[in-house]
Amino acid sequence: MFAHIPPYAGDPILSLNEAFQKDPRAGKVNLSIGIYFDENGKIPALESVRKAERLVVEAAGARPYLPMEGAANFRSAVQNLLFGADHPTLKAGRIATIQGVGSSGGLKVAADFIKAHFPASKVYLSNPTWDNHRAVFEGSGVETTTYPYYQDGQLDFAGMMDALSKAPARSVVLLHACCHNPTGVDLSAAQWTELVKLLNERELLPFLDLAYQGYGDGLNEDLFAVRELLAAGGPFLLANSFSKNMSVYGERCGALSVVCPTADEAERVLGQLKFMIRRNYSNPPTFGGQVVATVLNTPELNSLWHAEVDAMRTRIQAMRKALHEVLSAKVPGRNFDYFLTQRGMFSYTGLSPDQVDALKNDHAVYLVRSGRMCVAGLNSKNVEVVANAMAAVLA
């Protein structure tokens, strides 16, 4: 019956993570998967989240199904966080928000929505991008293509603008709102402004992916692109995640919001998103969403969360400086300034696939073969080991 089923090649990043877990070598370092590890190499349980968990457990009663679109307190908390509680667009009822199953779930619901209601539209992805972007859209039968993004160690803004200026109207343009995965290279404020103008003029549909809010310049600062698109009047889509900034990866907490021209359109869009959800997973789980909502809606926990996100971001920046310092001393002929200018969890190291393999095989240091390093896996105990290993493969 199943003899014709081909084996699954596996997801490159998740497979690497599994290989890391099985590696018996002491002192191994995992810089592959996009997870924040603390100074002790552990995934932190944030204090704000733990306190919220206790409140949710104490209040727990019956567990009915949530509505298809998710819990109302979660959805409004997400809207207030992303758009500002008093923003006229939100007050006018022009934003449809659903609780996702992680932001991956939000992306999938959006992909089904695009397939059904924008059947002729292609999704433009940055080259490079998170590998799963292509998989999610193509899995829903949506055609994807790419726009130039990164060339010779830096942003190719001219190439990006040129390609997008030729995209047909109603094309969907996927943009990383901050902390671009995998390159760590973001647009400047002025470039965002210029891009938003072009998207509007060309009637393109922007789709922001906000998976690393708080890891760039701060929870609020990282909403610059969202505010620019709101100021331009929309419409746009936004998938956001709490996996990284609340360290709740396995709880699958995220959302999808669609900013619409009118409240009437927002209501119809919400209805269609519910339809997509109903025939996919029916409704999201309760616990993680209630924890996130409790952090966001409890002023004391919300400020504690802000401080904890600031600390995670600052620690990554310190690791960037430390790596830069050791590598610059060890490999004098090479410029490592990109470690300082790239933002968020990731850096494109410029290492070749062979050099990445050598790091893994000879030094037990794991990076993605594209040369992407998760800087959040560094700590003061392993940064020197990693710098030495990198210097060795670069020699």
Binding site for ligand PMP (CB under 6 A): 34, 102-104, 130, 176, 181, 209, 211, 241, 243, 249, 254
Shortest Cβ 35–ligand PMP spacing (Å): 9
Q: In the complex with ligand PMP, which residue's Cβ is closer, 20 or 336?
A: 20
Position closest to ligand PMP via CB: 102
Listing DSSP states for 288-314 in one string gives HHHHHHHHHHSHHHHHHHHHHHHHHHH
Query: Is the Cβ of residue 44 or residue 93 nearer to ligand PMP in the bound state?
Result: 44
Contact 59, 256 (CB under 8 A): no
**Nearest distance from residue 314's CB to ligand PMP, in Å?**
21
Structural tokens at position 208: 């922001």
CB-nearer residue toward ligand PMP: 241 or 283: 241
Cα separations in angstroms, 117 against 110, 264, 272? 10, 16, 9
Q: Quote the strand ranges of 309-390, DSSP E.
A: 346-348, 365-366, 372-374
CB of 216 to ligand PMP, least distance (A): 13
Question: Please, which residue, 149 or 249, has the CB nearer to ligand PMP?
Answer: 249
Closest CA to 226 of 244, 214, 216, 238: 238
- Here the contacts of 383-389 (C-beta below 8 Å, separation 24 or greater) are 383/319, 383/322, 383/323, 383/326, 384/326, 385/27, 385/29, 386/29, 386/31, 386/323, 387/322, 387/323, 387/326, 387/327, 387/330, 388/326, 388/330, 389/359, 389/362, 389/363, 389/365
Which residues are tagged catalytic? 130, 209, 244
Q: Give pairs for 192-201: CB < 8 Å, separation 24+.
A: 192/224, 192/225, 192/228, 193/228, 194/161, 195/160, 195/161, 195/164, 196/225, 196/228, 196/229, 196/232, 197/232, 198/161, 198/164, 198/165, 199/164, 199/173, 199/232, 200/232, 200/233
Residue 30: partners with Cβ closer than 8 Å, 6 or more residues away: 17, 20, 37, 366, 374, 377
Closer residue to ligand PMP (CB): 280 or 380 = 280
3-state DSSP call for residue 245?
coil
Kindly state the smallest distance separating residue 244's Cβ from ligand PMP, in Å: 7
Q: How near is the Cβ of 27 to ligand PMP at its closest, in Å?
A: 26
- DSSP tag of 279: T
* Shorter beta-carbon distance to ligand PMP: residue 29 or 253: 253
Q: Which residue number, 89 or 181, has a Cβ lying nearer to ligand PMP?
A: 181
> 20 with 30: CB under 8 angstroms?
yes
User: Largest Cα–Cα distance of the chain, in whole Å?
Assistant: 64
Closest distance of CB 184 from ligand PMP, Å: 12
Task: State the nearest-atom distance from the C-beta of 84 to ligand PMP, in Å.
Answer: 22
